[in-house]
Amino acid sequence: MDRLHWLQHETGGLLTLSAVGIAVLLLLIIRFKIEPFIALLIAGLLVALGAGLSVEQIVGSAQKSSGSLIEAGFGNILGHVALIIGLGTLLGGILEASGGAEVLTAKLLRIFGEERAPLAMGLSGLIFGIPVFFDIGIFVLAPLVYVAAHRGGRSIVLYSMPLLAGLSITHAFLPPHPGPVALAGLLHVELGWLIVMGLLCGLPAWLVAGVFYSSWIGKRINLPVPEDMLAAAQKAESKTRKPPSLGLVAAIVAIPLTLILCGTFGSILLTGTLRSVVVFLGTPAVALTIAILTAFWLLGSRRGMSKEELAQLASTSLKPVGMIILVVGGGGFFGAVLSATGVGKALATTLASAGLPIIALVYVISCGLRVAQGSATVAIVTTGGIIAPLLPDLHYSQPRLALIAMAIASGSIIASHVNDGGFWIISRYFGIPVKETLATWTVLETILSVVGFTMAALLSLVIP
């Protein structure tokens, strides 16, 4: 405990300890290829022991583990995010299985025509990216890109980059995706405000990167559609299947976002029984449950899916969630350790003397973590854990906290390169060589990041 008391009065020692902890975390992930949630757990334990926290504080006693940092760190964040991530994944699963992506893209292609087909692909990624994970969105929508690019006779880059920009920005900025939901729990910000600020920061970023840059680079890097992938896509396209209506798909996607926004602003503007009803329906878990039940009925049961098929769909959809939830929990534990050791106060003291805005600090930290280890989710939860202890004493409003979350999210997508699994998925699925992937996808992500952060920083100047 003497070491802890010394550290708590030595800002330099605390900052050094946290820097060592982050360095250990990166070493475990990058050099030893350890799963991120295990690396977060190990790094958190080493920092706690290095700070002199007692074993009882860290893991509890043999008689009682409640109140330990491990339980509090994992439990506090997972109690907030696990249900939302799981429900969001189920919603994305039924929309994917029902053919919602195909009907959405087909309708947009008819509306915009052949000349503006890349814009239609971008809007498909932006809309369909709300309920589905980034990589699942690629798997589902890539065949549509192959066919559209072949029919248009232009580079696959011109069609794939707008789509990827839409999928990336929704994955990083909007719930129910794991990163934004984790930030809501770590920073104690309402999902409704995250949706508002995510749209205000994300849409301009998508416009600049997904429309203007994609159009520019797509005309300069001419790559054909891979023949084997095109053949498979055309074969799948020829299969007869009655798709759902576009209006139905759009309505189901809009249900949770609309209810959550109504709940957030209804709590401010309404009173009495109406306020209670709106707030209840706008609770994220309730809003997502309503959307899922609606989707399972209208897209599943009414279109001939049996109970067994729906159960299998749910089981399959939830398989990727386990590791994501563990990573978020590991980040919550790492943040709890940093808070218990006093790093939050040390950061506050350092920032006060340096005059560095928090919104810029979190962006730099998130960028560094993203570039170093590749995972956007790890960058988000680690940055959120580092900065969370600093925020309560600053008494920021909900909109301001949401902008800080957007700065973290922006940093988490910068400069995707060879240590990012998404980089290789894109290179493989769209047949883009590594050099061209760096020149297209890596630059696209960087533009999304910079514009998203710029919007967050500008909004922070006018939002108290």
pLDDT in tens, the chain (464 residues): 455 554 545 667 777 887 888 889 889 988 888 989 899 999 999 988 888 888 888 887 655 555 688 888 888 888 878 889 999 989 988 888 888 878 888 888 888 887 888 999 999 999 999 998 898 888 888 888 888 888 888 999 999 999 999 999 999 999 999 999 999 999 999 999 999 999 999 999 999 999 999 999 999 999 988 776 666 566 555 454 567 888 888 899 899 999 999 999 999 888 889 999 999 999 999 999 999 999 999 988 888 888 898 889 888 888 878 888 889 888 888 888 887 887 766 766 676 566 778 999 999 999 999 998 888 999 999 899 888 888 888 889 999 999 999 999 999 999 999 889 899 999 988 989 999 999 999 999 999 999 999 999 999 999 98
Burial class (CB in 10 A: 0-12, 13-18, 19+), 60: middle
Q: How much is the pLDDT for 11?
A: 65
> Which residue range forms the structural domain that includes residue 300?
2-55+67-462
Q: How much is the pLDDT for 240?
A: 45
Whole-angstrom Cα distance, residue 253 to residue 119? 20
In the chain, helix, strand, coil percent, each to 5? 80, 0, 20
Burial 22-51 (b: 16+ CB within 10 A, else e): bebbbebbeeeebebbebbbbbbbbbbebb
Number of domains, the chain: 1
61 within some domain: no
Which of 149, 140, 164, 78 has the alpha carbon at shortest distance from 117? 149
Whole-angstrom Cα distance, residue 291 to residue 268? 24
Q: How much is the pLDDT for 64?
A: 55
62 within some domain: no
Q: How much is the pLDDT for 198?
A: 97
Whole-angstrom Cα distance, residue 220 to residue 202? 26
The conformational region for residue 416 under phi > 0 = left, psi -120 to 50 = alpha, else beta, is: beta
Q: How far apart are the first and last CA of the chain?
A: 40
Q: How much is the pLDDT for 233?
A: 61
Burial class (CB in 10 A: 0-12, 13-18, 19+), 120: buried
60 within some domain: no
Tokens of 208: 């600049």
